[in-house]
Structure 1
Amino acid sequence: MSTEETPQRSSDAAAQGRGSADALLGAAEIRSLAARLDLTPTKRWGQNFVVDANTVRRIVRTADVAGRDVVEVGPGLGSLTLGLTEAGARVAAVEIDPRLAELLPETVGRKQPDARLEVVHHDALTIESLPFAPEAIVANLPYNVSVPVLIHLLERFPTIDRALVMVQAEVGHRLAAKPGSKTYGSPSAKVAWWGPWALEGDVSRQIFWPVPNVDSVLVGFRRGPARGSEELRRATFAVIDGAFGQRRKMLRQALSGVFGSPAAATEVLERAGVEPTLRGEALALDDFIRIAEAGPAR
């Protein structure tokens, strides 16, 4: 893991940098930086770089994280990073590509000399520590790992009380889905543990380079009331996994692997006040929590 930090910017310096066209990256400069690295964006790491400064500033305004401590996943060449630091956020940028991790401090230092940035060269799926306790996640998440990354960060860093991420539209709709909808599933129920999620904006394909084959959306949450202990969360997630692992089956059958048999699952469901003939997509997070609490001693 490598980190690099620059001194905290003063409020005067921040004010001077905000709104300046030179403070962010444009499309030509992004392509120039990629050419310098001989970089071809890869599907393996979900690399699609944002090339529109107006979109960057819209994302930062929507996130409402000015002056806060933010973790960004997959900063790439620095488009969104510069938008966050321009707003006065302190950013821990987690980048898996060593070339990008090495270049980012130089780019940000050149565009915004007083920015507060630490670059962490690491896989966000396995990261266990950051230079500071983040209060928010703001990121253009790689499409192929967006949900696992979100859940890992929320599990690992309990100080996070706000998230706004740009993801594939299908994933965003799934994260914000409500029980009973066609898109509701395991990710919907799990992320609700930390608070209610909602769609917060659409994103044009044309603001990316290369242009992806899918649409994107902004989806986010603000932390809700505490749900319970870490032990209860793990038990609840096991129930969610069981319910959606065989989503066409009734809960008494789908949860037989969790509780030992259909008869045992039925007994737990009845104690929880949940009809055993329902299916997982009909249950809200509170229902899954009641089932976990009614199950065998954890």
Structure 2
Amino acid sequence: MTDSSDVRLLGPAEIRGLAAELGVRPTKQLGQNFVHDGNTVRRIVAVSGVGADDVVLEVGPGLGSLTLALLQTAGRVVAVEIDPVLAARLPRTIDEYAPTRSGDFDVVTADAMSVLPEQLPVTPTALVANLPYNVAVPVLLHLMAHFPTLRTALVMVQAEVADRLAAGPGSRIYGVPSVKARYFGDVKRAGAVGRNVFWPEPKIESGLVRIDRRDVFGTDAQHRRATFTAIDAAFAQRRKTMRSALSGWAGGAPRAEELLRAADIDPGIRGERLDVADFVRLAEVAGTSVAGGDR
């Protein structure tokens, strides 16, 4: 059993000190806002439900605030950081603030938009991350698609994005992110995070989203891409009926209606009324093998 008793967390002074040492100025391009509140990172870890048996994948660890909180609870943490300066400093931060857990931490300098399992030294079981807000949805979908060992995901994203991800069929904000996230499992809002726990303080609110994986539709990449392509087509013109919206995808409105009826879907319905299972049936009926759609 690992000893987490001496793990210390970063506060506002430590965050600013590390940033000054590294000459780091948080950039909007990388979506950098560093959490400096210990209670917030502890709450994120608690909501994630990770424990000593989990290997946690953290994306965008930054200066290490959430990383240290994860090391208080998780069995192991592997962080993916795109910024080489931040990535190089993280192991030393762990040595200083969590000396008994330094052997349970790895950092990989990579882009989370394209990182693959073979690039990691361990196999992760859970995703816990403060995702860069400008690429949060494509990163989340990429990781859930390419890391089938992830049984749970708890991510912090922009509040509006959290609402869209967790929205159900029939909601006015239900759309492509909502449906695609549900391909992987049960999705729910898991809390809110105030602006004052970040440095610099963002102009937007933040929210937590949790996904509990259910591999109902399997893990075949072609099946996923076919389904996602149908989803993209349905919502490209979301005010149109499925018969009209899918005409280009199907090769004409008559063919779209034929496929919809074969999938037991009303051709006059709009995409916002359909669940992910409906799109899966539609893709299977169509036998679509068009590449793309992971994001």
TM-score by length of 2: 0.93
Paired-residue identity, % = 52
Q: CA RMSD in A?
A: 1.2
2:251 corresponds to 1:260:
yes
- Specify the alignment match of 1:65 in structure 2: 50
Alignment map for 1:191-202 (pairs within 5 Å) = 191-202=181-192
More off after superposition, 48-57 vs 251-260: 251-260
- Specify the alignment match of 1:30 in structure 2: 15
Offset, 1:231: 2.5
1:215 maps to amino acid: E
CA contact (8 A) 1:66 1:84 kept: no
- Specify the alignment match of 2:214 in structure 1: 224
2:278 corresponds to 1:287:
yes
Look up the SS of the partner of 1:268 in the other structure. helix
1:136 maps to amino acid: A
Structure 2 regions of 5+ residues with no counterpart? Answer: 290-295
- Write the distance in 1 (CA, Å) between the matches of 2:149 and 2:176: 23
- Specify the alignment match of 1:93 in structure 2: 79
More off after superposition, 266-275 vs 87-96: 87-96
Output one character per residue of 1:127-168: Cα deviation in whole Å (capped at 9) or x when no partner: 123211111110001110000000111111100010101110
1:98 maps to amino acid: P
- Write the distance in 2 (CA, Å) between the matches of 1:143 and 1:277: 35
- Write the distance in 1 (CA, Å) between the matches of 2:74 and 2:242: 48
- Write the distance in 1 (CA, Å) between the matches of 2:228 and 2:288: 15
- Specify the alignment match of 1:125 in structure 2: 113
- Specify the alignment match of 2:6 in structure 1: 17
- Specify the alignment match of 1:77 in structure 2: 63
Alignment partner for residue 244 of structure 1, among 235, 259, 271? Answer: 235
- Write the distance in 2 (CA, Å) between the matches of 1:160 and 1:72: 12
- Write the distance in 1 (CA, Å) between the matches of 2:254 and 2:121: 49
Alignment partner for residue 271 of structure 1, among 262, 277, 280? Answer: 262
Offset, 1:25: 0.5
Structure 1 regions of 5+ residues with no counterpart? Answer: 1-9
Aligned length: 283
CA contact (8 A) 1:205 1:215 kept: yes
TM-score by length of 1: 0.92
2:123 corresponds to 1:144:
no
CA contact (8 A) 2:144 2:150 kept: yes
CA contact (8 A) 1:251 1:280 kept: yes
